[in-house]
Structure 1
Amino acid sequence: MLISDSSIERQGWGLRTTALLIVLAILSACSGRPDVGVLALNEEPAAGAKVNDILIVTTRKRDERPDTYFNGERASEVNYAEASISVPPSHKPGQIEWPERLPGNPKTDFVAREASYIADKAAFRKSVNARLATLPRGKRDIILFIHGYNTRFPEGLYRFVQIVNDSQFKGVPVLFTWASRGNLKDYVYDLNSAAIARGALEETLVELSKTKADNITVLAHSMGNWLLMETAVQARTENRRLIAQHVDDIVMAAPDIDIDLFKAQLKRLGPQPRPFTVIVSQDDKALRISRAIAGGKQRVGAYSDDLELAELGAVVVDVTELQSLDSTNHSKFAQLAQLRPELRKALGSSALGSSADHNRGANLGDDLGSFVGTTAQTAVTLPIKVITAPFTYASGGY
């Protein structure tokens, strides 16, 4: 029996991909992942617990199973919802304390306090404006979070709650959750789901830009950055201009984007009015797997040349030396949430990576000298480098 070279190539690729996915599965192994029924409500009081109210925009299909709301399949229309999630008083920054049994214990676990669907886009915008109206003028801020590959609905929601809680964000948090199945083997499905979600994300950014918000921050993680960049590239010119006028900060955490594609996207978008922030870690094992699957091309989130990224217009936060709370080193960005006030000071901005000060490189070095975050539990000192062209400032223990 003759076997063609192309057949051998396909078989080799398939075996290589399978092996890589097995390795990633081992790296990501855990006792179980949250899925059905996670939003079972718990009304038990807990002194010191903090409730975080999240608005939700999604291209996921509604799930009729109790306390589940959305699954990993694609909806034919955009859906909206809201949820209130309680963080326990014993919470450790960067962590998600998942309940072992539902509906959880509010003294020790993240638990759902309220959850419901929102009827439509008009009702969603009304809800955003109502929440903004309760905030002082000048502090009517929105943060939009876009999760990455292999993320189930409750995982994206609870990770965002952790970020909002740890950063002490006082504005309106909005989760954009696209139809990831949350399965390692569904990388291509997830990538296609992200592509399908581009129009919905553009529409969401336009809607948020038309609210009464003073400032909008966009935080994307992993494949969510691919979705963000492709949305920017394909957006209608008038929409791109509107969004640019209202989005003050763009933070790209561990971007799962081919470095050559990223350069092409930036070239297509042209010169940007303000820098963006890229959080990188050269020991990111998940991006190492992604690189292998994608033909060996480096991913932006694990790129080896921080200065080149800075020269492309980014403020680079290099967390390679930071000890990760997850085995893949892919979610280090979540550990930075507690340092938001210090990053504001260090970067001279309103949030991670804000470009309010176009000359922030001039004062970055001075501010990094006091780059120590403090929480109620402990003082935090982290090994982080911040690079901005044409200056490079490194902190060895700050």
Structure 2
Amino acid sequence: MRVRLALVVLLALVTAACGSRPGPGTLQVSAAPATSATSHTVLVATTRERDDRPGSMFNGERAAALSFAEASVSVPPDHAPGKIEWPDTPPGDPETDFTLRASAHLDDAQFRAALDRELAARPKGQREVLVFIHGYNTRFPEALYRMVQLKHDSGLPHVAVLFTWASGGEVTDYLYDTNSATIARDGLERTLRTIAASRAEKINILAHSMGNWVLTETLRQIRISGTPLPRAKVGVVSMAAPDLDVDVFKAQLRRTGRPEKPFVILVSRDDRALKASSLLAGGKQRVGAYDHEEELAELGAVVVDLTEVESQDMANHGKFAQLAQAAPELQKLLGSRSLTQDEARGTDAVTVVGDTVGNTAKAAITLPLRIITAPITVLSGG
């Protein structure tokens, strides 16, 4: 009981330090001119309950069926990479704040049509999708605007698809969120299969925190279903600060066999949120704060160690958002060449990325991190 109380107090302090959070009514559409702002379209698939209150769209309750939506959000011209400029009062000023420009609920057919429309607007060779799966204690506006921040800062032309599950959005909802994440597996599988059946050439996935439980469980059930996703369409699968028991992760990989493409796992040993989660889990380490990175590499992952990167949040749990600006360079590094263990272990990724694809990443990443790789040979799936 003491451990659980300590977890709640710790996370409450972290949340309080971040200031007020967006609640119902936050997502009001702004009609103000936004000539200097940059707008991004996000397609949404969600297991959240639809919320018909003005400016809300979805809440933290669980829906009986998967729902869809589309939103356009503008980013202010003086946006700071890695951050979300929340308006003090909705709907906000597009010159200084993230601002909702338009939104609509969609049915299944409309979602498929919107996805194909977004893909068709891109030239062949660039028809890729980025699916973002948020973590614990995340409200719908936070998930939506984080998706926009990642899309904007990365500069990647990918179609943005937010998969948002029914997080309660409160510090004390850890168990509720865990169960909601488990319930969301079928919804995520349906979403991924819908994207795979579209014009998409590649499906890239980024999951954060507890979203990795949804992701890994969904990939497991897809793998054992006997009907895998088309191999040629699976792109980079990234796991940021995974709030996932290390032993569970190992068991999942043993059941599914080695991944056809290595997972990219972003870890940080100073992640306070994952330390609290570990206490709640009886002291078992979480994948995102695991101190044996080389073991993860041997399990079939490319491990990016962010421990030395200074975080913008007190919990050191959101460092992944700060790397979005370097995403194209890291993607080229991880996708265009095969790093050897001797080359990558213990090296400064700024040097590696800079030597490989130029100097952009040096400007985006100012502190050292390591990239560790290994041949995917340990787990055979037997």
Task: Summarize deviations over 1:120-173 as a string: whole Å, max 9, x none.
Answer: 222211110111111111110101010011000001111111000000021210
| Alignment match, 1:159 | 146
Rounded Cα–Cα distance in structure 2 between residues aligned with 1:20 and 1:195: 21
Question: What is the deviation of 1:240?
Answer: 4.7
| Alignment match, 2:47 | 59
Equivalent residues of 1:372, 1:381 under 8 A apart? no
Note if 1:109 corresponds to 2:97. yes
Rounded Cα–Cα distance in structure 2 between residues aligned with 1:238 and 1:284: 35
Question: What is the deviation of 1:36?
Answer: 1.0
Note if 1:307 corresponds to 2:294. yes
Alignment of 1:1-398 (within 5 A): 14-29=1-16, 30-118=18-106, 120-235=107-222, 237=224, 240-349=227-336, 357=337, 359-361=338-340, 367-370=352-355, 372-373=359-360, 380-389=365-374
- C-alpha RMSD over aligned residues: 2.0
Equivalent residues of 1:99, 1:110 under 8 A apart? yes
Task: Summarize deviations over 1:207-242 as a string: whole Å, max 9, x none.
Answer: 111001111101100000011111122236456522
TM-score (norm 2): 0.91
| Alignment match, 2:380 | none
Task: Summarize deviations over 1:330-357 as a string: whole Å, max 9, x none.
Answer: 00000000001221333234xxxxxxx4
Rounded Cα–Cα distance in structure 2 between residues aligned with 1:197 and 1:243: 22
Rounded Cα–Cα distance in structure 1 between residues aligned with 2:125 and 2:226: 24
TM-score (norm 1): 0.88
Q: Secondary structure of the equivalent of 1:204?
A: helix
Equivalent residues of 2:223, 2:256 under 8 A apart? no
Question: What is the deviation of 1:272?
Answer: 1.9
Check 1:236–1:342 CA distance in 2 against 1; reply closer, same or farther (3 A cut): closer
For residue 114 of structure 1, what is the amino acid of its counterpart? A
Q: Secondary structure of the equivalent of 1:185?
A: coil
- Of structures 1 and 2, the larger Rg is shown by 1
Rounded Cα–Cα distance in structure 2 between residues aligned with 1:253 and 1:234: 21
For residue 195 of structure 2, what is the amino acid of its counterpart? L
Question: What is the deviation of 1:48?
Answer: 2.6
Equivalent residues of 1:372, 1:380 under 8 A apart? no
Q: Secondary structure of the equivalent of 2:229?
A: helix
Equivalent residues of 1:47, 1:89 under 8 A apart? no
Q: Secondary structure of the equivalent of 1:271?
A: coil
The number of aligned residues is 367
Rounded Cα–Cα distance in structure 2 between residues aligned with 1:369 and 1:81: 39
Question: What is the deviation of 1:369?
Answer: 4.2
Check 1:239–1:179 CA distance in 2 against 1; reply closer, same or farther (3 A cut): farther
Structure 2: 5+ residue runs without aligned partners?
377-382
Task: Summarize deviations over 1:155-208 as a string: whole Å, max 9, x none.
Answer: 111111100000002121000000001111111101111111111111111111
| Alignment match, 1:10 | none
Q: Secondary structure of the equivalent of 1:255?
A: coil
Task: Summarize deviations over 1:26-73 as a string: whole Å, max 9, x none.
Answer: 122232110111211112123431101000000000111101010000
Question: What is the deviation of 1:384?
Answer: 1.3
Rounded Cα–Cα distance in structure 2 between residues aligned with 1:186 and 1:56: 23
Q: Secondary structure of the equivalent of 2:212?
A: helix
